[in-house]
Amino acid sequence: MSSITVNTTDRKSRTMAAKPADALHLLATVRDPEKRQQLALSVTEMCVAQPLAPSAEPIAGDLLITLSTKSDLDTKVAMAKKLANCDWAPHSAVRHFAFDQIEISAIIIEKSDLLTQKDMIELAEAGSIEHRRHLAMRANLCLPVTDRLAEPGEPIVLRALANNDTAEISEDTLEVCLHVAREHPKLREALARRHDLSTDYATQLCIMLPENWREELYRRFGLDKAKVETLAVEAALGATPEDVDKNAAREVQDAKDAGKLSGRFAMESLKAGKEAVFDHAIAALCDIKASQWRVALAMNGVRAAAMACQAAQLERTAYPIIHKTLQRSGRIHQALEGDAMAAAANVFRMYGPEKAAKVLRQMGTRA
């Protein structure tokens, strides 16, 4: 761009700053896209150079909003970065950028001190899930904002909140987190890292965590291990309604009498969502009680599921299906990766059917 063009743009920018009432009219005369982008950045720079007069701020805000609507993404990002770091940037412009697409909004959400509580609540209500996720990561959020962020029960947003140790989180929001966490291991782990949990809450959370996390919470919150294990057993034994359990037991007995009880029968039941039938089928195949299987699963889900595969002489390829299905229903608390995968592999390597059944029976002794 020539020096004449640059000077012309600078003069227009100064005119806008000196006579904001003429700004929007002058903007309409700038047709060239490249000149508009330079104008947008120049005006932004002038707005953040020094505090504006009270009468000029709303017009400057309108001007920045108008300029942004005609700007490309890179220009809007540059404008947002300048405004986010300015303590006297026009509030209307800051708010406008906060509701823009996430590449722009995230800059304002993270850095601008000018967003009000009202702005953030409205953003939590009207923004996209990505707006809520970024807002959940903002430092020093107050209760009205975090409560509103938690309302939709979105796991990715709740996880961001749980990981934000500067955010105030109410008991109601923690309860939402606990409910959603039953099916989301990463959210459970994020909650377990917090240091502001009550003993009762940590105990309830502990029931849903794998063994290595339980040990950490026992130590950090001084939890009663026996109480946690008792609650885990009670939850496991009380999860299936009595009538459903009786019907499942009858279905498995009928299959056994007909010579149709097999690993395939158990797996088909699990795939069909009939977990009570699966429980009774696995128990019968392993020669243990269904209650013993359920308690063993509650005590150490990965180990119990792998032992059951061996004891019931299922194909090793059945294990990932069992693991992932029981994880989705909240009965196994570890993803099939890392330590969990290594623990399962160790069972398959070290235990034959008879020994696996014996260990599984011992694991379920609290039934």
Long-range contacts formed by 285-288: CB under 8 A, 24+ apart: 285/261, 285/311, 285/312, 285/313, 286/311, 286/312, 286/356, 286/357, 286/360, 286/361, 287/311, 287/357, 288/357, 288/360, 288/361, 288/364
Residues 259 and 287 grouped into a single domain: yes
Residue 209 in domain: no
Residues 78 and 1 grouped into a single domain: yes
The tokens describing 109, both together, are 């959400």
Residue 202 in domain: no
Residues 245 and 358 grouped into a single domain: yes
Of the CA atoms within 13 Å of residue 312, those in its CB half-sphere come to: 30
Long-range contacts formed by 350-356: CB under 8 A, 24+ apart: 351/307, 351/310, 352/310, 353/310, 353/311, 353/312, 353/313, 354/311, 356/286, 356/307, 356/308, 356/310, 356/311
- pLDDT cut 70: percent of the chain above it: 91
- pLDDT cut 90: percent of the chain above it: 66
Residue 178 in domain: yes
Residues 259 and 319 grouped into a single domain: yes
Residue 229 in domain: no
pTM of the model: 0.75
Residues 97 and 128 grouped into a single domain: no
Last residue of a domain, one of 112, 136, 165: 112
Residue 305 in domain: yes
Residues 4 and 76 grouped into a single domain: yes
Q: Is residue 112 within 8 Å of 135, Cβ to Cβ?
A: no
Residues 143 and 62 grouped into a single domain: no
Tally the domains of the chain. 3
Residue 230 in domain: no
Residue 257 in domain: yes
Residues 305 and 329 grouped into a single domain: yes
Q: What is the pLDDT of residues 14-56, one digit of tens each?
A: 444 445 445 555 655 667 778 878 888 988 998 899 998 888 8
- Which helix (H) or strand (E) covers residue 279, if one does? helix 275-286
Q: What is the pLDDT of residues 242-262, one digit of tens each?
A: 999 999 999 999 999 999 999
Residues 252 and 341 grouped into a single domain: yes
Question: Where in the sequence is the domain holding 123, given as residue range(s)?
Answer: 116-196
What are the counts of helices (DSSP H) followed by strands (DSSP E) for the chain? 24, 0
Give mean pLDDT in consecutive 10-residue pieces for the chain, a chain of 367 residues. 41 47 58 79 90 87 88 94 95 96 97 96 97 97 97 97 95 94 89 93 90 88 91 89 95 96 93 95 94 92 94 91 90 86 93 93 81
Residue 211 in domain: no
Last residue of a domain, one of 179, 196, 213: 196
Residues 344 and 279 grouped into a single domain: yes
φ, ψ (nearest 5 deg) of residue 137: -90, -5
Residues 146 and 106 grouped into a single domain: no
Residues 243 and 353 grouped into a single domain: yes
What distance in Å separates the CA atoms of residue 156 and residue 134, rounded to the nearest whole number?
A: 10
What distance in Å separates the CA atoms of residue 267 and residue 181, rounded to the nearest whole number?
A: 26
Last residue of a domain, one of 171, 196, 221: 196
